[in-house]
């Protein structure tokens, strides 16, 4: 066993997970091969909205290797609950029944209509061509505003409306704020749909588990615990007869925070046929049938004084839910809505969210889930206010920041931020970027009419994460609890197993949790094994999303270690025949105060605790503790970004020359992991600003249906990042930690767009839709110049007319 004298928390301990991942030794769901396994393939609708007048799978059954084939009608009895949502944001929210296999009607392109099971995947796929389906196309609605218009085609006729819910919030007197305002700025932003692209697409293997009279479901999921309970509720199979295992999972970014039709299908078919069933998604299916992210129309207004002080904010959101409600779909926009005020404090705020059905793929959580959208709008409009008042974007921000605080502070949306010092982050990022010289360079380029203009874009953000206090979640209509569980088991020899309820899929919990345990118990991280993702092995947990794992799950691990230490100290006192109060602990060794030679190691204590023969009377043998941690509040990381762009005004091409960031996620467990999380997050935020976006035609056909058409940036499209951190501990948890898994995605997008608009200020460009492709940027320049020329012409003709009038030349 290695000696463990140092503090590991805060050190750059190499990721334990990486050797297996980079040497091809990881256990992916698709690697699972089981005797008698059948492969499932799904026939998906090419129409976005159509009545199914006829389905016949008999042709498929005649194909070689086909064992079974079913239509939606055949399986209706198997899923009384359908694919349920776990988010009920208003009492009168409309929830359409969501069958895993459509029957009667398809409601988006990719809706599955029939399933085939074969002895190998290729046969299953080929046999889909022999299924006969007749569709009667129905009118399609793909646009949220059109969907709310009188006479719009209805996605679900039986609901009588496309409006799923209206969620309002008003704090303070908003009308009064707008009446009192010297200036009002009003903008409309479109959050384009994004397609999540985890390296590993979704995959599931379901099999009977005769030994336990139940079923095992392997799924490339972020949420095996949620999958287990929801599969049980949807199928009626008792919860204790379903074991769900998430093996190594190749990323999720929120898209695997769901329970999908295919998981349900695999389970009910394994139950029906008594054979293991495997399904994995190809990339085209991924684009059609895995949830999409974003998809909002945002109307935002800011009321302010001439000095740049914000008085009030009004927001109206239309949230494109797609055709069905997935696990958290309805809750994404309302949760994000709480964050529109961002890092600015003012008196009056209102927001109204309308969830709207369209004939498109359902939307749900995608990295940031509601908060990138909110941050984008507030960071864009604060720049619009600066332009309106002819102020520096830094100055207008500073006028509205909170004074630094380290105790819960109420926000305009009525929630409580935990702690913040946004000034410090902004000061530091400006130093890093050498703001003064950047503005000087910008001036020079403008004076020289340089075809390549320089843009300096800011974003000062905060986000809500660390989901969450159970009560707060219930208030947002999200059932299921927000606590997290941990079990820490020190073995007889003093090595440690940690069973965590969080489910890492790229975030490095094995390393971070080992560091926490190593410091708490005085062992080496190498002596800690972290178990996760198997509902039969780890305590019932709430999994990984909402940048919650460290500030909830990691804290649970630390609290369980505290319990171990309390007990170990008692055992050590007993072994050393000393009073418990006289026992000291350092670097894995208990000793008696004042006589350090009287000592035992924690490993000795573990052995004694398990042997049980020489422990305090009445004590339970062993060193094995559970903790379920219920957080008291969310955590609110924050930060400041500067994006420096070079915009080619002749071609519209944008090059991010530099990207500076100062983030604050409280004390850090593993700086290398935090940096990695930020790099990935920034890449996704920049991708939304410049490259990515799902495009549908008016019939609801996905035009960006493959990686050829959907632009995911690679290393050449992304800049080097210059990153630093400030440390403002959270009072919400005993480690003071805040989340970081989504921070980069939340803060970066507006910095990029603000930078482009800043570069093009001399051309009069005030707005560019995302993704800001060269064509869009070029057109924005042309339009703005056209408008300016038009205005100049109009001004000239008014002047000419005025001159005529003066000279008595009136007609
Ligand atoms: N960490 C730390 N110190 C801090 C904060 C975090 O050392 N102050 C470390 C944690 O110990 C953990 C990691 O950073 O190892 C992320 O922790 P946290 O912020 O708690 O986030 P989660 O573990 O809950 O991860 C969820 C978050 C989300 S919501 C998305 S989406 C996302 C993300 O993580 N998806 C990812 N990062 C991803 N990274 C990968 N590789 N793949 C994904 O799908």
Give the pLDDT score at 641. Answer: 98
- The pLDDT of 249-270, averaged and rounded, is 98
CA of 672 to the centre of ligand 1 (A): 12
CA of 433 to the centre of ligand 1 (A): 27
- The pLDDT of 645-653, averaged and rounded, is 98
Return the closest-CA partner of residue 540 out of 80, 121, 224: 224
* Residue located nearest, by CA, to atom 33 of ligand 1: 741
CA of 291 to the centre of ligand 1 (A): 20
Range with the lowest mean pLDDT among 241-250, 338-347, 468-477? 468-477
pLDDT digits (tens, 9 = 90+) for 344-365: 999 999 999 999 999 999 999 9
Is the distance from CB of 594 to CB of 573 less than 8 angstroms? no
Is the predicted pLDDT of residue 307 greater than 80, yes or no? yes
CA 740, 741, 747: angle at the middle one, nearest 5?
Answer: 70
Task: Please tell me the pTM assigned to this model.
Answer: 0.96
Is the predicted pLDDT of residue 698 greater than 80, yes or no? yes
CA of 408 to the centre of ligand 1 (A): 24
Cα–Cα distance measured from residue 481 to residue 492, given in angstroms and rounded to the nearest whole number: 34
614, burial (CB in 10 Å: exposed 0-12, middle 13-18, buried 19+): exposed
- The pLDDT of 107-116, averaged and rounded, is 98
Q: Helices (DSSP H) in 390-414: which residue ranges?
A: 393-400
Please, what sign has the CA dihedral across residues 783, 788, 789, 793? positive
The DSSP 8-state label assigned to residue 696 in this structure reads: B
CA of 505 to the centre of ligand 1 (A): 9
CA of 546 to the centre of ligand 1 (A): 9
Ligand 1 nearest-atom number relative to CA 365: 31
Give the pLDDT score at 811. Answer: 34
Strands of the sheet with 296-304, listed across from one edge: 163-171, 348-357, 310-322, 296-304, 183-191
Give the pLDDT score at 801. Answer: 67
pLDDT digits (tens, 9 = 90+) for 542-561: 999 999 999 999 999 999 99
CA of 740 to the centre of ligand 1 (A): 6
Counting every residue written for the chain, the total comes to: 811
* Residue located nearest, by CA, to atom 13 of ligand 1: 507
Give the three-class secondary structure for 516: helix
For a pocket test of ligand 1, which of 484, 677, 736, 747 has the largest count of ligand atoms closer than 8 A to its C-beta?
677
Give the pLDDT score at 2. Answer: 43
* Residue located nearest, by CA, to atom 35 of ligand 1: 253
CA of 506 to the centre of ligand 1 (A): 8
State how beta strands 214-219 and 242-245 pair: parallel
For the chain, give the percent of residues with pLDDT over 70: 98
- The pLDDT of 458-467, averaged and rounded, is 96
The DSSP 8-state label assigned to residue 550 in this structure reads: I
Task: List CB contacts of 657: < 8 A, sequence separation 6 or more.
Answer: 454, 644, 645, 646, 719
Give the three-class secondary structure for 71: strand
- The pLDDT of 303-310, averaged and rounded, is 98
- The pLDDT of 123-130, averaged and rounded, is 98
Return the closest-CA partner of residue 372 out of 396, 325, 337, 402: 337
Residue with tokens 């290797």: 65
Q: Confidence band (pLDDT; 50, 70, 90) for 807?
A: low
Ligand 1 nearest-atom number relative to CA 552: 20
* Residue located nearest, by CA, to atom 30 of ligand 1: 253
pLDDT digits (tens, 9 = 90+) for 357-395: 999 999 999 999 999 999 999 999 999 999 999 999 999
Cα–Cα distance measured from residue 161 to residue 150, given in angstroms and rounded to the nearest whole number: 9
Is the distance from CB of 643 to CB of 433 less than 8 angstroms? no
* Residues framing ligand 1 (Cβ under 6 A): 251-254, 367, 505-509, 512, 544-551, 554, 665-666, 668-670, 673-674, 677, 680, 737-742
Tokens encoding 545: 């999303």
Return the closest-CA partner of residue 791 out of 770, 763, 767, 811: 763
Task: List CB contacts of 551: < 8 A, sequence separation 6 or more.
Answer: 465, 466, 631, 635, 730, 732, 733, 735, 737, 738, 739
Q: How much is the mean pLDDT over the chain?
A: 96
Is the predicted pLDDT of residue 463 greater than 80, yes or no? yes
As a dihedral over the C-alpha atoms of residue 20, residue 24, residue 25, residue 26, rounded to 10 degrees, the angle is 80
CA of 741 to the centre of ligand 1 (A): 4
Residue with tokens 């959580």: 365
Ligand 1 nearest-atom number relative to CA 738: 8
Tokens encoding 624: 């094995």
Is the predicted pLDDT of residue 5 greater than 70, yes or no? no
Give the pLDDT score at 798. Answer: 65
Q: Confidence band (pLDDT; 50, 70, 90) for 788?
A: confident
For a pocket test of ligand 1, which of 550, 552, 726 has the largest count of ligand atoms closer than 8 A to its C-beta?
550
Tokens encoding 58: 């008999």
Give the pLDDT score at 809. Answer: 41
pLDDT digits (tens, 9 = 90+) for 427-452: 999 999 999 999 999 999 999 999 99
Q: Confidence band (pLDDT; 50, 70, 90) for 760?
A: very high
Tokens encoding 535: 């509902």
pLDDT digits (tens, 9 = 90+) for 38-91: 999 999 999 999 999 999 999 999 999 999 999 999 999 998 889 999 999 999
CA of 508 to the centre of ligand 1 (A): 8
- The pLDDT of 466-487, averaged and rounded, is 93
* Residue located nearest, by CA, to atom 9 of ligand 1: 674
427, burial (CB in 10 Å: exposed 0-12, middle 13-18, buried 19+): middle
């Amino acid at each position: 066993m290695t000696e463990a004298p140092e503090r590991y928390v805060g050190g750059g301990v190499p990721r334990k997970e990486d050797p297996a991942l980079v040497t091809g030794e990881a256990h992916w769901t698709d690697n699972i091969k089981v005797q008698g396994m059948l492969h499932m393939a799904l026939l998906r609708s090419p129409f976005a909205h159509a009545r199914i007048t006829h389905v016949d799978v008999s042709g498929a059954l005649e194909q070689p290797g086909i064992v079974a084939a079913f239509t939606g009608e055949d399986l209706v009895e198997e899923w009384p609950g359908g694919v349920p949502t776990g988010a009920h944001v208003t009492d009168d929210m409309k929830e359409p029944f969501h069958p895993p296999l459509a029957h009667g009607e398809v409601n988006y392109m990719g809706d599955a209509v029939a399933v085939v099971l074969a002895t190998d995947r290729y046969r299953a796929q080929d046999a889909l061509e022999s299924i006969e389906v007749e569709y009667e196309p129905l009118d399609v609605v793909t646009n949220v505003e059109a969907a709310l218009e009188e006479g719009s085609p209805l996605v679900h006729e039986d609901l009588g409306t496309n409006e799923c819910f209206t969620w309002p919030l008003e704090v303070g007197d908003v009308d009064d704020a707008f009446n009192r305002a010297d200036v009002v700025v009003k903008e409309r932003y479109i959050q384009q749909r994004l397609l999540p692209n985890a390296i590993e697409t979704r995959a599931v293997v379901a099999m009977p588990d005769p030994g336990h009279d139940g079923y095992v479901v392997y799924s490339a999921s972020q949420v095996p615990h949620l999958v287990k309970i929801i599969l049980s509720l949807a199928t009626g199979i008792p919860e204790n007869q379903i074991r769900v295992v998430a093996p190594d999972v190749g990323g999720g970014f929120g898209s695997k925070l769901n329970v999908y039709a295919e998981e349900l299908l695999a389970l009910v078919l394994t139950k029906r046929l008594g054979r293991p069933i495997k399904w994995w998604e190809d990339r085209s299916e991924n684009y059609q049938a895995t949830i999409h992210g974003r998809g909002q129309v945002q109307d935002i207004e800011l009321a302010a004084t001439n000095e740049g002080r914000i008085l009030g904010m009004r927001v109206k959101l239309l949230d494109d839910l797609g055709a069905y409600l997935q696990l958290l779909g309805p809750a994404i926009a309302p949760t994000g809505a709480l964050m529109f005020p961002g890092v600015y404090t003012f008196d009056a705020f209102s927001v109204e969210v309308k969830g709207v059905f369209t004939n498109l793929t359902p939307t749900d959580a995608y990295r940031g889930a509601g908060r990138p959208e909110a941050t984008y709008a507030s960071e864009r409009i604060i720049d619009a206010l600066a332009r309106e008042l002819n102020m520096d974007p830094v100055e207008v921000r500073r006028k509205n920041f909170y004074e630094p605080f380290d105790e819960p502070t109420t926000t305009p949306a009525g929630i409580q931020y935990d702690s913040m010092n946004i000034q410090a982050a902004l000061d530091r990022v400006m130093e890093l970027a050498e703001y003064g010289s950047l503005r000087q360079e910008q001036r020079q380029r403008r004076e020289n009419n340089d075809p390549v203009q320089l843009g300096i874009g800011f974003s000062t953000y905060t986000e809500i994460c660390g989901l969450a206090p159970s009560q707060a979640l219930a208030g947002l209509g999200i059932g299921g609890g927000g606590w997290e569980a941990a079990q820490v088991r020190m073995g007889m020899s003093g090595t440690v197993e940690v069973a965590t309820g969080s489910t890492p899929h790229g975030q490095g919990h094995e390393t971070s949790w080992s560091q926490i345990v190593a410091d708490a118990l005085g062992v080496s991280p190498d002596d800690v094994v972290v178990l996760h993702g198997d509902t039969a092995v780890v305590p019932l947990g709430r999994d990984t999303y909402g940048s919650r794992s460290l500030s909830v799950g990691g804290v649970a691990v630390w609290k369980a270690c505290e319990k171990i230490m309390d007990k170990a100290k008692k055992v050590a006192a007993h072994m050393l025949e000393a009073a418990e109060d006289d026992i000291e602990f350092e670097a894995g060794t208990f000793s008696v105060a004042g006589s350090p030679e009287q000592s035992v190691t924690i490993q000795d204590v573990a052995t004694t605790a398990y042997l049980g023969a020489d422990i305090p009377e009445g004590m339970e043998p062993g060193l094995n503790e559970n903790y379920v941690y219920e957080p008291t509040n969310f955590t609110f990381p924050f930060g400041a970004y500067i994006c420096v762009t070079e915009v080619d005004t002749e071609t519209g091409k944008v090059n991010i020359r530099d990207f500076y960031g100062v983030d604050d996620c409280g004390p850090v467990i593993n700086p290398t992991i935090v940096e990695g999380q930020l790099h990935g997050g920034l890449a996704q935020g920049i991708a939304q600003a410049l490259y990515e976006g799902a495009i549908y035609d008016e019939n609801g056909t996905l035009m960006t249906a493959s990686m050829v058409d959907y632009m995911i940036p690679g290393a050449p499209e992304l800049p080097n990042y210059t990153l630093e951190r400030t440390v403002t501990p959270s009072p919400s948890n005993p480690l003071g930690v805040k989340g970081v898994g989504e921070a980069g995605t939340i803060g970066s997008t507006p910095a990029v767009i603000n930078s482009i608009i800043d570069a093009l200020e001399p051309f009069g460009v005030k707005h560019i839709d995302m993704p800001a492709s060269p064509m869009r940027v070029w057109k924005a320049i042309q339009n703005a110049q056209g408008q300016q020329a038009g205005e100049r012409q109009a001004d000239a003709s008014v002047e000419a007319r005025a001159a005529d009038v003066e000279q008595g030349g009136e007609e």
